Amino acid sequence: MIEVKDLQKSFGDAHILKGITTTFENGKTSLVIGQSGSGKTVFLKCLLGLFTQDEGTITYDGNIYSQLNSDQKRDLRSKMGMVFQGSALFDSMTIAENVMFPLRMFTKQSKSEMQDRVDFVLKRVNLPDAHNKMPSEASGGMQKRVAIARAIVNNPKYLFCDEPNSGLDPKTAIVIDNLIQEITDEYNITTIINTHDMNSVMEIGEKIVFLKDGLKAWEGSKDNIFITDNKVVTDFVYSSELFKKVRKMYLEERNT
């Protein structure tokens, strides 16, 4: 379980996270949603330790991250996988080398063991033959799959995804969302996904944390987000015409 208590972060004068408290259950997929600029990426990078928070604590299964020594931090980080918004594949390496990289860094496996593992995860993300391509030769959807493969290759306990389906067409986006959900269930990973895409919210996730201007404006289960009367949430959730219609139909249905 990841517990976040009163997380605050500023860059210079800009107060970005203004005190966020929430928890993420083990083995579940949680979504952090909110408009662009609401602080989702900063929040996730604080969880990962890429940014150091100004205030507040982050606790991983009872261990307060900021109190760990550097070996313990390294150990914890080896259990984390991250899918970055732009995939962040190493562009000087082939796809297979990208996926193998965490194994080379964190494990003492032999070359053939590593290769077997890379074959396995690339197959798992439906890229059985992409080993020798360079990232620049792969489509956006493929790059995302490789990023997922790289994030899960070392059997992480925690998986973080920053807008995993941004920049993808709707169909590929759903495939990627579902892939993350399946992998989370299959390997019992604790997954946190940042998104501003309501289609993702429809597809995947159990718990939702809604950020607005660096504050947690709402949290709850996925079922509740479509029926809550919280104005801030409904403004965001029903900003598109499609979702407005869905809501209208839903409310009419409920009233009859």
Binding site for ligand ADP (CB under 6 A): 11, 14, 16, 34, 36-42
Side-chain-side CA neighbours of residue 124 (13 Å): 24
Return phi, psi of residue 84, to 5°.
-80, 160
CB of 227 to other proteins, least distance (A): 36
CB atoms within 10 A of CB 200: 26
Our CB check for Mg ion shows the closer of 41 and 53 to be 41
Scan residues 37-66 and list those touching Mg ion (CB under 5 A): 41
Task: Based on the shown chain and the rule CB under 8 A, indicate whether residue 37 belongs to the binding site for other proteins.
Answer: no
CB of 107 to ligand ADP, least distance (A): 31
H helices of 153-230, in order, are 170-187, 198-203, 222-225
Residues 6+ apart with CB under 8 A from 83: 144, 147, 148, 151, 159, 160, 161, 162, 164, 180
Which of other proteins, Mg ion, ligand ADP, none does 78 bind, CB closer than 5 to 8 A by kind?
A: other proteins
Residues 6+ apart with CB under 8 A from 146: 87, 89, 95, 98, 99, 122, 125, 127, 130, 135, 138
Tokens of 18: 């203004």
Residue selected from 78, 166, 228, 230 as contacting other proteins according to rule CB under 8 A: 78
Specify the residue for token string 């976040």. 4
CB atoms within 10 A of CB 180: 28
Task: Based on the shown chain and the rule CB under 5 A, indicate whether residue 195 belongs to the binding site for Mg ion.
Answer: no
Residue selected from 2, 31, 80, 168 as contacting other proteins according to rule CB under 8 A: 80
Amino acid at 64: I
CB of 86 to other proteins, least distance (A): 5
CB of 51 to ligand ADP, least distance (A): 7
Our CB check for other proteins shows the closer of 74 and 245 to be 74
CB of 20 to ligand ADP, least distance (A): 12
Our CB check for ligand ADP shows the closer of 117 and 216 to be 216
Which of other proteins, Mg ion, ligand ADP, none does 69 bind, CB closer than 5 to 8 A by kind?
A: none
Our CB check for Mg ion shows the closer of 41 and 98 to be 41
